[in-house]
Structure 1
C-alpha cells in the first residue's frame, strides 16, 4: 500500500513549505550528525537525481524532498519533522504497516536526549513552541480538547480496535506472542487487574472517570457493582450506553456527560472504589492537584483508587512539560504526561492518597500500538469511506508508530497504580 498525501485547505499548516535559510541549515547539520551516528539508514534524494545514504545501517527511510524536511524542522522542530512525514517529504522505505517506521523512530527515541548537543539543549525553552493557552485543561476548554480526538467517529475507532473497543494498553500473557495473542482477552486481563486491585465486587459503588466505550463499566457491572462513569465525549457516551444496554446492565451503569470536577459539588465519600484508565494524561499539569483531590473527595473510607497512566521519566517531564508537540497539535490537545514521581508528589501534597501498588507495562503498550497500526492500515478503504483523507491516514499511522517507538525505547512508560489513604494501607 502506498500512502500519498495531498495537503489541502483542510491542513493549512501543511500547504506552504517554509523558506530555507539559517534555521534550515542548522536543522540539516543536526539531522545529519544525529543520523550518521546511529543504526538507521536514511536515503536522501537530491533534486539533481543523485541519492546520498547516511547512517550506520538499520531500518530505512527515504527523504524525497530534503529541502522541505530541513526547512520544516528548522521552523517547527519535532512538529516540523512529523509534518514533513504528513506531506510525504519523507517516508519509510517499505510498505506502511510492516513496522519499519516504528523501528526507525525507536532507534531515535532510544537516544532522544542526545540527538541534539547538550550545549544547544539549553535553548529549548527559547526555540521550542509552547502549548497554546486554548489547550489548558479548564472547564471551558476540556470538552473541546476531548472532542478533537474522541468525537472523530466511533466507526473510525471500531475499524482498528479489538472487539472490546478498548483504547488503552492491553496486558498480554506473554510479550513473545503479543502480536498473535487474542486481543480482547489481553484487554480484559488489563481491566480485570485494575478492578481486582480496586476491590470491585458485588455491591461495590464504583466511580469511573473516563468512560471510553464502556467496556470497564460492563466488566464491573458483571461482578455485581453499580457504576457511575463520566465522559466528555458525546460520541463515546452514546455508544457506551448502547453497549451497556446490549450487555444487560443498563440498570447498573450510569453514563454521565460531565467534567470530573463536578464531583466536588457532591457529597464526599460516595464511592467504594474509583478507577480511571489513561485519563490523567488529558488533565493538564496545572490541574493534576484538582484531579487527584477529586479522586480523594469521591472515595469512601477504606476504598481504593486504581488508575492506568502513561508516564515520562521525571527529568524529561520537567524539561518538556510546557512544550507544544506533534501529539498535542494534531492528536491530543492539552495532553501532558506525568511521571510516577510527580503523581507521588501531587498526591502527597494535596490528598490523603498514597501509592501502594505499581505495575509498569510499557512494552505491552508497544505491542498494543503495533497491533492498532496494522489494523488501522488494513482498514484503509473503510477509513476512506468514512471521509478521512490520505493526509489523515498518514497522520494516524505516524502517531501510532511514533507512540510505539516511545514505549519500545523505554522513553515513555505506562503504569497501573493503586492508591489508598494512609490509614487504610
Structure 2
C-alpha cells in the first residue's frame, strides 16, 4: 500500500483483517485541503475493494483525491468519481441495484460506464458481499418484482412501460430496419442494418423456412422479421405483438411494402393465438414472459406447431452459476427497464422446452455480437440525445438508458449473459 501525491494505491494482496487499511485511508484523506471527512462506511467500502482481482479501478473521492485498486490479473481499466458518501451506504445496503440508482441521482459518475461495469462483473465473486446488498432489501426487491406478473393484463402494462415510449424515440437510434435485438456480425465490417439482416437470414435458415410455409412470429416488434421473411422467402406470415405503437408501425410498414397478401400483423397475446403453423419464430420476446409463465409459453408453441414443425427462438440467457441468486431478487434491469421480465439459464431453458414435449435440435450463441450491437446503439443514443430530450425524457431518463445499454454491453462482453438461437421440433401431433 502506498500514498503519493493525490493517489492512494491498495494492491490486492494487501487485504488486512485489522484496522490498518481503514486508518491509513483516513490519514490519507486528512492530507486534503478540503473539508471532506470520509465516513467509516466509505473507508470500509474501499477496504473491501482491495479484493479486486481483475483489472484496475481508479476511484476519485469527494475531496478530489484518487484511490487506485489494481488486481492481480490484467483486465479493464476504469474510473469512477464518487460525489458523496451516500452512494457507499446505498451500495452496502442495497447492492448493485442501489448503486445503479445512485447513478441516476448523480451520486457518482464515470467517463466509461461500460468499462466500469466490466470490472464490477469480472470481480463479482470477490465483491459478492457488497454487490448483493442486505437480505431485507433483496427480499423487498423480489416482492416488488413479483407484484408485476406477466398475466395478460400485467404483460400489456409491463410492455407499455418500455416499448410505448414512442416510435420516434426508437427510430432515432436503432438502425433503419427498426430492429431492437442482437444483430449477427460475420466479418465485423458490416453496418448494423446489414448485421440485422444477417440475423433474420440466420433465423430463416435455422427454421428451414420455405415459400409454402405459414410462419408465426411471436413478439414481432416493428415488423422487421415479418417483412424479411415475406420478401426473401415468399412465405405467409402471421406476426403478433401486444404493443399498440409497434402494431401501428408494423402494419403501416407491411402496407407500404405491398406485402399485405402475405403478412398479417395482429395485436394479440401469445396465449390467444388461433390455428396451427408450419414454423414459429420469436426474437427476444421470451425474456418478457416471466418465470411463472414459461411452461405456458412452450405449451403454446407445442400446440400451435404442426407435426414435425420447427421453432427457432432468440433468447438472452444468464450464466448458470448466477441463476439462483439472480432469481431470488430483482436487478436494475427488472426494476426500471423490463418490469416482470426474467432471464433463464440455458439448462433451465432446455428443461422447460423438453418438459413441453418439444425436441431440441441445436443452438448457436453470439453474445459478443450483442455487445457490439449495444455499443452501436449507445453511440447512436448519445448522438441523437439533443433530438430526443424534452418532457419526461430528462437528464435522469438519459442516465437510465445510458446505464441500461452500458450495463448490458458489459454483461455480454464479460459473459455473465449470452444470447442464443435455439431450435426445436414438434415430434408429436
Please give the TM-score of this superposition, normalised by the length of structure 1: 0.84
CA gap 1:376/1:236 in 2 versus in 1, 3 angstroms: same
CA gap 1:198/1:41 in 2 versus in 1, 3 angstroms: same
**Contact 2:362–2:423, Cα closer than 8 Å, also in 1:** yes
Query: Between Structure 1 and Structure 2, whose CA radius of gyration is higher?
Result: 2
Q: Which residue of 2 aligns with 1:236?
A: 246
**Contact 2:92–2:133, Cα closer than 8 Å, also in 1:** no
CA gap 1:375/1:122 in 2 versus in 1, 3 angstroms: closer
- Which of 185, 196, 199 in structure 2 is aligned with 1:190? 199
CA gap 1:150/1:109 in 2 versus in 1, 3 angstroms: same
Q: Which residue of 1 aligns with 2:14?
A: none
- Per the TM alignment, residue 64 of structure 1 is displaced from its structure 2 partner at its CA by 3.4
Distance in structure 1 (CA, Å) of the matches to 2:333 and 2:237 = 32
Q: How does 1:188-227 map to 2 (within 5 A)?
A: 188-222=197-231, 223-227=233-237
- Per the TM alignment, residue 307 of structure 1 is displaced from its structure 2 partner at its CA by 0.3
Name the count of aligned residue pairs. Answer: 385
1:399 and 2:395 equivalent?
no
Q: Which residue of 1 aligns with 2:60?
A: 44
Q: How does 1:138-287 map to 2 (within 5 A)?
A: 138-174=151-187, 177=188, 180-222=189-231, 223-263=233-273, 266-267=274-275, 270-287=276-293
**Contact 2:80–2:108, Cα closer than 8 Å, also in 1:** yes
Distance in structure 2 (CA, Å) of the matches to 1:406 and 1:291 = 26
| Structure 2: tracts of 5 or more residues without a match | 1-37
- Per the TM alignment, residue 127 of structure 1 is displaced from its structure 2 partner at its CA by 4.1
- Per the TM alignment, residue 364 of structure 1 is displaced from its structure 2 partner at its CA by 0.4
Matched residue of 1:165: which SS?
A: coil
Distance in structure 1 (CA, Å) of the matches to 2:50 and 2:211 = 60
- Per the TM alignment, residue 303 of structure 1 is displaced from its structure 2 partner at its CA by 0.9
Distance in structure 2 (CA, Å) of the matches to 1:385 and 1:76 = 31
Distance in structure 1 (CA, Å) of the matches to 2:107 and 2:129 = 25
Q: Stretches of 4+ moved more than 3 A in 1? A: 24-27, 120-128
Distance in structure 1 (CA, Å) of the matches to 2:368 and 2:154 = 32
Of the two structures, which has the highest relative contact order with CA contacts closer than 8 Å and spacing of 6 or more? 1
Distance in structure 2 (CA, Å) of the matches to 1:231 and 1:131 = 28
**Contact 2:307–2:428, Cα closer than 8 Å, also in 1:** no
Q: 1:370-389, CA deviations, whole angstroms, 9 ceiling, x for partnerless residues?
A: 00000100111111157511
